Amino acid sequence: MKLSRRNLLTAAPAVAALPTVTHAAAAPYKATWESLGSAYQTPDWFRDAKLGLWAHWGPQCIPECGDWYGRQMYIQGNFYYEHHTKTYGHPAQFGFMEFLKDWKAEKFDPDGLIGLYKSVGAKYFVAMANHHDNFDLYDSKYQNWNSVNIGPKRDICGDFAAAARKHGLKFGLSNHAAHAWHWWQTAYGYDAEGPVKGLRYDAARLTKADGKGKWWDGYDPQELYTGRFGDMPPPDGINSIKAMQDHINTTSGQWLETVPPNGAYYAKKWLLRQNDMIDKYRPDLVYFDNYGLPLEQYGLDATAYYYNQAVKWHGTANVIATGKKLDDTQRKAITEDIERGYSDRLRDNVWQTCTCIGNWHYDRGLYERNGYKSAKNVIQRLVDIVSKNGNMLLSIPVRGNGEIDEKEVAILGEMKAWLDVNGEAIFATRPYTVFGEGPFKVVEGHMNEAEAKPFTHEDIRYTTKAGALYALPLEWPTSGYVTLISLAEGSPLRKGSVERVELLGHGQPLTFELGMDGLTVKLPDARPAFSPALKIMGTGLV
């Protein structure tokens, strides 16, 4: 293909091209934060579940380079740009859309994956419905760029839904497409330096008419790349890579939840796609990758529609919708998600942490340098989260071909071994008066998990169930003793009497002593798991 210097920027079609979104007049939930929060209660299935697994999987996993490949391959000087030009060609010639035609997902086995995840202990599974790349991974009525029409020619979300329900797991979908409009603006840029300086990339040059006789005949690239919005694509005349990157960072580099300028078509289409997804798959959970809800009123409309449909299905809104960085009003209406971060306290409202054992999109380099989180690290996070009234949604990166690698399988196996012994202290539990004790300190917030120092044997977390109190040290103490300071004689946290202490997986009563320094328990020499879980029984403990 000969590189052309055309700079054709095509506007998105008119809003009138989309049907009207309708709402039932008698629907119990209205599209306001106050209405959504007035009657909503977190369903017990989610409070009991504690652990969900996630396939954050789509065509950006094909290069096996990690996160945000689609956006960063269009930023000259970026590692992904350099990798892309060397491996596939210049992004004006081989744009992101070219990945789609050859994506086969030939080793995609949803039944096998879900069966494995069920055996580990997961109670819900989430499939990615779309990412910021705007490609729907389901039989989408309103987005022709989808996995049924192009690439694998499979309803990936539908296949995952069937497998999850076959294995008795609750099923969720994650929607990331509300950010596509600013995320994709790099695809409308150009090289600031080099032999093709000034040449616009494929999104800026291709129209539906250009597809005649090609593999994408009949498809409009502007529907995938969202169209150009304002001055977000770099204007002509930027002559250095640094200046280009600075411009990108200050325009489309922002994380925006707003409707794009003159972007009613985009926002309305997002809502129609979201509601279509709800009706097709009736998910038990919808993960919105957004601060609050996406696209202003459109996100409220989507959530109200979801809750009202759930009332039709179940008689109550027995479902979960998540959002990030919520205020007190919003926490009554949807479930807060903390991405790759910690809570520094026991929360009144049930919440969720989403994290991953690696990068969100599959990263071959991370695999090769053994960069995944260990099973122990994952379990420590899980215990900490559950003690604070939360759930963990853990992503296991999936290769472009649809399989997970042997190192991921091994990590899942080690998680299973621990949960087989200690799951009693995790699943269907409720928090204690305090989440725990110990020196581990965290800063509340998103994207800060890498900054935390390691847990120690002094870091102990508490859960309760059926009158029993569980104490979980996050490391096995080398001394052979565990001291629970919160249960010391005279402590205001101390309740009732301690009559029996067991180590899960051991079965026999353990020797303990209750004093002013705490409840001290002698552990056996044998270790049924890499960290212990004590079951404390007595009268009036919880």
Which residue ranges of the chain lie beneath pLDDT 50? 1-16, 24
Q: Are residues 404 and 279 in the same domain?
A: yes
Q: Are residues 163 and 312 in the same domain?
A: yes
End-of-domain residue from the set 408, 425, 442: 425
Q: Are residues 396 and 499 in the same domain?
A: no
Note the pLDDT tens digit of each residue in 13-68.
443 456 765 554 578 999 999 999 998 999 999 999 999 999 999 999 999 999 99
Task: Show the domain range for 273.
Answer: 15-425
Q: Are residues 406 and 492 in the same domain?
A: no
Q: Are residues 464 and 380 in the same domain?
A: no
Q: Cα–Cα distance between 34 and 439 in angstroms, integer?
A: 39
Q: Please indicate, yes or no, if residue 40 is contained in any of the structural domains.
A: yes
Q: Please indicate, yes or no, if residue 5 is contained in any of the structural domains.
A: no
Q: Are residues 401 and 465 in the same domain?
A: no
Which residue has 């040290």 as its token pair?
473
Q: Are residues 141 and 88 in the same domain?
A: yes
- What is the reported pLDDT for 118? 98
- What is the reported pLDDT for 23? 52
Residues 6+ apart with CB under 8 A from 101: 150, 151, 215, 216
Q: Are residues 205 and 319 in the same domain?
A: yes
The maximal CA–CA distance of the chain, rounded, in angstroms, is: 82
Q: Please indicate, yes or no, if residue 327 is contained in any of the structural domains.
A: yes
Q: Are residues 177 and 237 in the same domain?
A: yes
Q: Please indicate, yes or no, if residue 506 is contained in any of the structural domains.
A: yes
Q: Please indicate, yes or no, if residue 431 is contained in any of the structural domains.
A: no
Q: Are residues 22 and 140 in the same domain?
A: yes
Q: Cα–Cα distance between 169 and 126 in angstroms, integer?
A: 10
Structure tokens at 214: 């090609």
End-of-domain residue from the set 402, 425, 448: 425
Q: Please indicate, yes or no, if residue 130 is contained in any of the structural domains.
A: yes
Q: Are 330 and 33 contacting, i.e. CB atoms less than 8 angstroms apart?
A: yes
In this structure, what CATH number is given to the domain that contains residue 409? 3.20.20.80
End-of-domain residue from the set 370, 401, 425: 425
Q: Considering its fold, how many domains does the chain have in total?
A: 2
Q: Are residues 50 and 198 in the same domain?
A: yes
Q: Are residues 410 and 468 in the same domain?
A: no
Structure tokens at 305: 């529609």
In this structure, what CATH number is given to the domain that contains residue 475? 2.60.40.1180
Q: Are 382 and 426 contacting, i.e. CB atoms less than 8 angstroms apart?
A: yes
Q: Please indicate, yes or no, if residue 194 is contained in any of the structural domains.
A: yes
- What is the reported pLDDT for 20? 65
- What is the reported pLDDT for 445? 84
- What is the reported pLDDT for 14? 40
Note the pLDDT tens digit of each residue in 328-340.
999 999 999 999 9
- What is the reported pLDDT for 3? 39
Q: Please indicate, yes or no, if residue 443 is contained in any of the structural domains.
A: no
Q: Cα–Cα distance between 540 and 542 in angstroms, integer?
A: 6
